[in-house]
């Protein structure tokens, strides 16, 4: 029987009259590279925040490697690495200090933290910027140093909300290589993204969420069928605009 890295059971969240996540259940197999896709405002970030212990759900459960993250957060989070969208870092630290702090915060040995920090700075191409304050980093550099803080303790599960946003193509390719290697050696990655082609090429599994409701889940091939993932996504969520009325937008 396949193990489940993340087991989401009936998660729900409402903000006033707005239902952000509506009774979503989702199972992420261990060892998978799982994509979560949906339009803006679909509920992706809210769902991932509840599943990783950042936002308390109105109802439902989230089990990380079999441990309820809200009943036993310390145990669950020990095996979890998170790159959250929109959560500020301690940006008055240098990049090197921030990654070091993340490791020490998890109770790791100082010598091991020092070695892993240098390894992560090297693979993220941030060695020359390691002593620069994070507040002075570009958006792409901030994304990479945040990923390093999520990986320092070698978690079993990485949950990454828009990890490639504002990252240049070379850095994005390097990050993909790192994540593919991580999955190859037994890790599990969940990544939310708006880039369908990237998800189709990179992920083994995918879930589509829209208006807080899960529209489809399974392997990438199961979800997309005979179409591209982008076309299947549009079929599921709708909303393709009609460009009638733009007859004036012509150059000849």
Neighbouring CB atoms inside 10 A of 94's CB total 19
Global pTM? Answer: 0.90
Domain residue ranges in the chain: 32-55+67-237
How confident is the model over 197-221, as pLDDT tens digits? 889 999 999 999 999 999 999 999 9
Calculated CA dihedral for residues 61, 66, 72, 77, nearest 10 degrees = -100
As separate numbers, helices (DSSP H) first and strands (DSSP E) second, the chain gives 9, 10
Alpha helices in 185-213 (DSSP H): 196-202
How confident is the model over 61-90, as pLDDT tens digits? 999 999 999 999 999 999 999 998 877 889
Average pLDDT over residues 148-175: 90
Domain 32-55+67-237 architecture: 3-Layer(aba) Sandwich (3.40)
How confident is the model over 25-68, as pLDDT tens digits? 999 999 999 999 998 888 999 999 999 999 999 999 999 999 99
């Amino acid at each position: 029987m396949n193990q489940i890295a993340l087991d989401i059971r009936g998660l729900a969240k409402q903000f006033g009259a707005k239902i952000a996540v509506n009774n979503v259940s989702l199972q992420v197999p261990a060892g998978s590279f799982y994509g979560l896709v949906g339009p803006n405002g679909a509920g992706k970030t809210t769902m991932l925040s509840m599943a990783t212990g950042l936002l308390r759900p109105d109802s439902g459960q989230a089990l990380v490697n079999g441990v309820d993250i809200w009943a036993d957060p310390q145990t669950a989070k020990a095996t979890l690495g998170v790159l959250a969208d929109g959560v500020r870092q301690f940006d008055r630290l240098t990049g090197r200090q921030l990654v070091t702090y993340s490791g020490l915060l998890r109770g790791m040995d100082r010598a091991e933290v020092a070695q892993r920090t240098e390894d992560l700075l090297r693979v993220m191409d941030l060695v020359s910027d390691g002593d620069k304050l994070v507040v002075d980093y570009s958006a792409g550099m901030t994304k990479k140093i945040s990923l390093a803080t999520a990986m320092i303790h070698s978690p079993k599960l990485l949950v990454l909300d828009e990890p490639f946003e504002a990252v240049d193509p070379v850095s994005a390719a390097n990050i993909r290589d790192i994540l593919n290697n991580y999955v190859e050696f037994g890790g599990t990655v969940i990544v939310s993204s708006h880039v369908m082609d990237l998800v189709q090429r990179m992920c083994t599994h995918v879930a589509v969420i829209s208006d807080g409701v899960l529209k489809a889940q399974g392997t990438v091939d199961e979800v997309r069928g005979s179409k591209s993932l982008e076309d299947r996504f549009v079929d599921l969520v709708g909303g393709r605009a009609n460009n009638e009325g733009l007859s004036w937008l012509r150059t000849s």
